[in-house]
């Protein structure tokens, strides 16, 4: 059973510091006879990742929780949020953080292909966000507008950099279109993008809909990862 995240007293920056995790000598994993080299590398990376250790210590469902904590420490979008949509919610780490940072006052509607373990204050839909009926299902479940739409979705990688970028950007564009239908004036949209940031055409459309657009890679993102995040704040209005 997962323990609840520790309550945070007041607002402060850098509240999560995995550097405080005791680091022993690096763990080396021998390649088993039937284990792929890539699997061995993944396991070794997990065992030596201070954010993985911090997530286990603090009761978060994934190390990705710290990405949202670090984004919020910098941009403070969760402070007054009451209704939040979590796209690509599994395993639920971002929803955990959102509830914690709003003192459990927010209502969250999430969606993912994978089953998400129940979390008080959140409703999770098990379905593909790209399905034809997913958008309407989210809108019906939401029952109104949202203060934040946050997306940690990324397309399954193929190993071909350009293809992976295009597929992830297609998810971002779909998430943005949905956001413009449900976001409250002044609201925030956050989405994972790959290195190079948001495509120019999409960025121009976003700038017409939001007062502030920034790109930021939180420290919890692995150094070798090509991911970064676009943070769009101050939603102006619905698309024409």
User: Where do you find CATH 3.40.50.150 in the chain?
Assistant: 65-235
All residues at 6 or more sequence positions from 10 whose CB lies less than 8 Å from its CB, including other chains: none
- Could you give the 3-state DSSP secondary structure of residue 232? strand
CA-based nearest residue to 210, from 190, 226, 186: 186
Q: What are phi and psi of 47, to 5 degrees?
A: -70, -25
Residue 39's alpha-carbon distances to 31, 99, 161, 169, 226, in angstroms, are 9, 33, 21, 27, 20
Catalytic residue among 4, 11, 137, 192: 192
The whole-angstrom separation of Cα 180 and Cα 237 is 8
The whole-angstrom separation of Cα 141 and Cα 135 is 10
Buried b (16+ CB within 10 A) or exposed e, 168-189: bbebbbbbbebbbebbeeebbb
Banded model confidence at residue 43, pLDDT cuts 50, 70, 90: very low
If one compares 91 and 34, the residue with the highest pLDDT of the two is: 91
All residues at 6 or more sequence positions from 101 whose CB lies less than 8 Å from its CB, including other chains: 8, 69, 72, 78, 79
Residue 34 structure tokens: 């039937």
If one compares 126 and 160, the residue with the highest pLDDT of the two is: 126
pTM of the predicted model, to two decimals?
Answer: 0.80
Report whether pLDDT(27) > 60.
Answer: no
The whole-angstrom separation of Cα 148 and Cα 116 is 20
- Give pLDDT, residue 91: 96
Banded model confidence at residue 208, pLDDT cuts 50, 70, 90: very high
Least confident interval from 55-59, 77-81, 97-101, 199-203: 199-203
All residues at 6 or more sequence positions from 27 whose CB lies less than 8 Å from its CB, including other chains: 44, 47, 48
- Give pLDDT, residue 9: 39
Banded model confidence at residue 125, pLDDT cuts 50, 70, 90: very high
Banded model confidence at residue 238, pLDDT cuts 50, 70, 90: low
Q: Domain 65-235, CATH 3.20.20.80 — does that match?
A: no
Banded model confidence at residue 167, pLDDT cuts 50, 70, 90: confident
Report whether pLDDT(7) > 70.
Answer: no
If one compares 131 and 163, the residue with the highest pLDDT of the two is: 131
192 catalytic? Reply is yes
């Amino acid at each position: 059973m997962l323990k609840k995240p520790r309550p945070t007293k007041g607002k402060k920056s850098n509240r999560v510091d995995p550097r405080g995790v005791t680091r022993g000598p690096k763990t080396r994993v021998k390649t088993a006879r039937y284990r792929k080299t890539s699997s061995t590398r993944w396991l070794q990376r997990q065992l030596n990742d201070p954010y993985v250790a911090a997530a286990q210590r603090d009761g978060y469902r994934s190390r990705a929780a710290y990405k949202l904590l670090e984004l919020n420490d910098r941009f403070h979008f969760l402070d007054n949020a009451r209704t939040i949509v979590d796209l690509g919610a599994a395993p639920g780490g971002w929803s955990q953080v959102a509830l914690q940072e709003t003192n459990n006052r927010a209502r969250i509607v999430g969606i993912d292909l994978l089953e998400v373990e129940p979390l008080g204050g959140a409703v999770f839909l098990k379905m593909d966000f790209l399905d034809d009926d997913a958008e309407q299902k989210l809108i019906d479940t939401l029952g109104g507008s949202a203060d934040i739409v946050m997306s940690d979705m990324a397309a399954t990688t193929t190993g071909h950099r350009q293809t992976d970028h295009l597929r992830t950007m297609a998810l971002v564009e779909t998430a943005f279109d949905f956001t413009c239908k449900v976001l409250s004036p002044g609201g925030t949209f956050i989405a994972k993008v790959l290195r190079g940031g948001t495509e120019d055409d999409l960025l121009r459309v976003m700038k017409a809909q939001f007062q502030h657009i920034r790109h930021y890679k939180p420290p919890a993102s692995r150094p070798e990862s090509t991911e970064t995040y676009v943070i769009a704040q101050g939603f102006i209005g619905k698309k024409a």
